[in-house]
Structure 1
Amino acid sequence: MNPRLLFWVPALLRLLMLLGLAGLAWSMAGVVAGLSVAVLLLLFQILLQLSYLQQLSNWLDDFNSAKLPDGWGAWTDVFSRLYRLRRDDERSQAELTEWLARFRQAMHLLPDGVAIMDDVLFLEWCNPAAERHLGLTLARDKGMRVTNLVRHPDFIDYIVLGRYEQPLTLSLRDRKLIVQIIPFENRRQILVTHDATESARIEEMRRDFIANASHELRTPLTVIVGFLEIASTTPDLDVASRQAHLKLMTEQGHRMQRLIEDMLTLSRLESVDYPLRPEPVAVKAVIEDVLEEARALSGGQHAISASIEGPDVVGSADELRSAFANLASNAVRYTAPGGAVQLRWRDMPEGPQFSVTDTGIGIDQLHIARLTERFYRVDKSRSRETQGTGLGLAIVKHVLLRHRASLSIHSEPGKGSTFTVMFPKR
């Protein structure tokens, strides 16, 4: 039925009933009695309507659907519709609150920084990533101008020029940030920050790796090609010289082969398609193999010993053998003849440990933090003498990462070094 009819039909019926009662009083008690009854009934209706208006006013002051009063007549429909509207509004507010909570949670979990500013660059809101990137604190800095909070000349120029089509690359707080402002609504702007420090570091490592690998491969190739050119242009070269050239070419070929094998090993260890397949590892047998290899490399020029007292572990026997062998061979190569190298496997309260201690040349503290970088060498000339590829400790680092182990290095120049592999407690 039409809502207007729902309102007017009951009202007209009540009016007819009121007139009927007044007419009945008129016919039974005279004109004065009929008018008096009509006035009293009219006053009652007015007071009743005023009472409902007062209840409605009180409810509007305290929005609560449970407190909505009951009505009579047309008020029944009014209060019923208000109740439905209020319930719909409460349901919408609950959904909006839930979505707002989800939005804030999503913004808090974003790795990128997001800050909302008004049209005059006053900070309204930012997520924790933006606080870390820009050095902000929402509770302290809300309502302040962003250009006063981030006082970097390039950032201020970017804001002043207003050329937001391209992002700004910014070095701030020892991080490399990519910053962009996105207009939002008429009086809002979104400041987005992306931390590109790790990406830049990886890209730099990639460039360095390619440059170093090219250099390392070029040196033996130059030697081999040079002697081949001599052999082709000098067919009557004496036998002694030819044998010397062949020996050098063989050494450089083996060096290049070791380098390529180490590069392939390192690439395989870093690949997500090469997962670790854990298996019980008999550590005693692994260290005994490493000990034999170290003694063969030494050729009897060093005192090499091993102490094996720790438990077996779970992991890859081949990878651990490679890591332990790299540490042992480095100790032999960088220890002068007559020196000592000791291999130790023991169980400690914090977990099993494998250590290699030598009496070699030692390492300055300046270099220790970078020793596991690819192709990093403390003394390049000495590395060529020891026939190292510059990838051994990088391989060790990645093997240990796959086994949740860590490497600790203690060394002093002229006093030797100790490389300790620390496995997690079982």
Structure 2
Amino acid sequence: MTTPAAPSSLKKTLTPLHLWAIAVGLVISGEYFGWNYGWAVAGPVGFLVATLVVTVLYVAFVFSFTELTTAIPQAGGPFAYAHRAFGPIGGFVAGYATLVEFLFAPPAIAFALGSYVHFLYPVVPVLYTALGCYVIFTLINLLGIKESANFSLVVTLLAVAELLLFMGLVAPRFRIDNFLAHPVPVSAPGVFAALPFAIWFYLAIEGVAMVAEEVAEPRRTIPKGYAYGLLTLVALALGVMVLSGGVGDWRRLSRLDYPLPEALVMVLGKGSRWTSFFASIGLFGLVASFHGTIIGYSRQVFALARAGYLPAFLARLNGRQTPHWALVAGGAVGVLALLTGTTDQVIILSVLGALVMYVTSLLSLFALRRREPELARPFAVPGYPLVPLLALALCMVSLAALVYYNLLLSGVFLAGLVGLLGVYLLIIRKQQRKERHAERSEASRVY
């Protein structure tokens, strides 16, 4: 592996409140859009079953993941755990999967941002807003992690308040008959097909690990950030999904990138000031997640470049100790995805990367428990090994279902992994040959 010319380090400034904001902010857009595509394949009842299964998955996974994050608080997150547990190849697989998750989640959020703006101002094209978001929030992240985290805290607080307002507005009109109307038979195939969209409720909460290197007192702070963040997201996800399904014909919401404003239209009418107000401030939730995932992918690109998996210049830091080239490179990938993809496909690809990363992280947990029993673990997963085994089993079931129902996208994901791994191995072999040649040349000169 190659290494950057100079060591790179990140500034430790984040507090438990910052981590809560990043954890919730990374995910909270999942409550605003994306999950409703699950209704289209399973109906509200089948999707509720899928959501409960995924909630159990994430509770078990976050407990397990917190052990890894506090024991190895590095910016690489899953890549760092897999590399330590399984060596360079394991690190490469985990790094690739994490990059896919965090590079393809932002385009889906950008599409939704564009859709919300288009809902308010129909003359503004969706794509133009989405592209503008990449420019604006890349510039914000270039200011530094403390400034970025403070911004994330503000917009996350506003987004949480907005979802509570939404639930308060629609709750009086909730009718269980609406939730159960137009029934779709609850079946295993329907629940399995809905799993990716249920995962979207929580996708990217593990991104807190990407900023672990920038956390003050990480072994005490990280468990608090994860725990408070997950509790907040479970309450919001179940509240928004159940209440939205009971205010009218849920089929109207199942194919939109702006289901919550449309649910308010069903309750209050499009001319209502509350509807316009909600659609306007609804941007805060999407902004929080978009901003958070940019932080996540930039740190992952930085860590992979620092370890030699990506070009060394991507590990360079600017004067504010921000990985500026990693931010720009990740933004370029997102813009390409905006120009070529659709929201549901981008969501599925991001979830696919997440599930592969979850599996490698859980396997790393077991491997490190066996190989490094002396490793300091400030937080040990309760109920070991049953809790991580439950998380691993649910991840494997979800991954199998996702692949089965999305063979083409799964093939694209696998082809990218195999192709890039092949390139990486060729580079490593070439590098090793050069090193051996240099050693022989040096030996012959000495002789």
TM (normalized to structure 1)? 0.24
> When you count helix as a share of all residues, which structure comes out higher?
2
> When you count strand as a share of all residues, which structure comes out higher?
1
From the CA coordinates, give the structure whose radius of gyration is larger: 1
- Relative contact order (alpha carbons < 8 A, sep ≥ 6): 1 or 2 greater? 2
TM (normalized to structure 2)? 0.23
